Structures are given as C-alpha cells and as structure tokens.
Amino acid sequence: MFTSVIIPAAGFGERMGATIGKQFLLLNEKPILVHTLERFQSCDDINEIIVATQRSSFPIIEEIRKKYSLSKLKAPVEGGERRQDSVAKALKCVDAESEIISVHDAVRPFVRRKEITQSIETAKYFGASVVAVRAKDTMKQASTDGRVEKTLNRSSLWSVQTPQTFQRKILIEAYEFAFKNNIVATDDSYLVEQIGVLPIIIEGSYENIKITTPDDLLLAELLVKRFMP
C-alpha cells in the first residue's frame, strides 16, 4: 500500500532560541532534520517523504536530498503559520496513489523502525494510530490559579509523540472538518478524534523525544551516541 510521510519542518524554534530553526541544528555533524529523514528513507514501508518548510529553506532541502541520497524525498512544500497549517499544505501534495499517511515531527530524530512500521500496520486496519509512552509522573489537574483540583489516574494516561498514522481519507476529512469549524490543535490525532475516529496507541520509547528546548539538545547529544534505529 503506497504510504507517504509528512514531516512538518517549518517552525522557528522559539523555545530553543537558536539563530536558525532547530531542525537545522547539527547533531553529530548532521542536521537534526537529516537524522529524521534517514529514519524514513531506510524504512521499506515508506514510499515518499514530503517536508513542509519555510520557502527560504527550500535550497537547503534540495542540498540535503543530494548530499544524503534521500531518493524518497519530494520537492519541499511551503509551511504555514501553525504546525497544523504546514501539515494541511503538505497533505495537498501527497501522491494521488497514497492510501496511508504518517505525520512525524522533523525534530524527533530518535524514532525507531519498529514504531514506524507498527504505526503504519495499525492504521491500515484500524484507521488511525499514535505512538505514545506511559506517563511516568503522577498527573494532577489544576485550576488556572494553580490549585490542584484532582489527581488523575496515571494508568490511563499517555504522553503522545509522533509518528501518527492515518488512512488517507480519514486524515483529509479531519483536516477539512477542522478548517470549516476553526478547530486548532498541535497534534493531528486530536483533529481525527473530532470526526469520531479513535486512534490506537502504539507503545513507543522514551528516547523518541521532541527536541524543543536547549536541555533537549543536551539529551539528544547523549542519545545520538548510542541510538540503534
């Protein structure tokens, strides 16, 4: 089944506070984005990779494609104001044959092959899947003024990551529904949940971090030394 992966990489990395987007920062002498792209390039279940990025970064993407022999990487798509807009734009550019679409953050270079393939297999049969890890900390719900309202049942709580994978029809319908109803989310599965599809959780790894702040970069430098895809 033809499978596409959309990699949103159009963010400015405000919380990282670097002079360039964090997806282009080097990790072991290679841009973080390249580590991520290599995970999907080497996965036989993936047929095409679509990166959404700022127009000014298009030449970098072209350069990366040649330098790292990323044959599955298609022409870049211009990103939008929010992550959701970037994914929506990329969604319009997936191959006409594509039946399964994965979405994976450019800044999660430590995704494992098993997570990608399980996510795809599950979406084929159940419509939607999300990679997630069990919450480690006890989670409390608090009011806006910081007073604890209740303690949540940790055994039912998950921290959701990417990849998140969907049957094409479901993801397109979810994005159209969100657009019409002004629904905003930082996670694709939330949009799918709004049209009544409940994604299946794939238990992933705590190493699949989203590099967000400078302390994540320190951790990534340790992880990259021993990472086994």
> Which positions lie near ligand CTP, rule CB under 6 A?
8-15, 23, 52, 79-83, 86, 105-107, 210, 212
Q: How far, in Å, CA of 86 to CA of 90, rounded?
A: 6
Q: Please state the closest distance from residue 130 (CB atom) to Mg ion, in A.
A: 18
How distant, in Å, are the alpha carbons of 38, 50, 76, 78 from that of 64?
11, 13, 11, 16
Quick one: what does residue 82 bind among ligand CTP, Mg ion, none, with the CB cut-off 5 to 8 Å set by partner type?
ligand CTP
Q: Which is nearer to Mg ion, 22 or 112 (CB)?
A: 22
The answer to whether the beta carbons of residues 101 and 5 sit under 8 Å apart is yes
Nearer to ligand CTP, 113 or 210 (CB): 210
Complex with ligand CTP: residue 53 or 127, whichever CB lies closer? 53
Q: Measured from the CB of residue 142, what is the shortest distance to Mg ion in angstroms?
A: 23
Distance CA 177, CA 47 (A): 27
CB 88, min distance to ligand CTP, A: 10
The span from the CA of 94 to the CA of 168, in Å, is: 10
What binding mask, one character per residue, do residues 69-88 give for Mg ion by CB under 5 A, x or -? --------------------
Nearer to Mg ion, 11 or 163 (CB): 11
CA distances (Å), origin 77, targets 57, 58, 86, 93, 198: 10, 8, 8, 8, 29
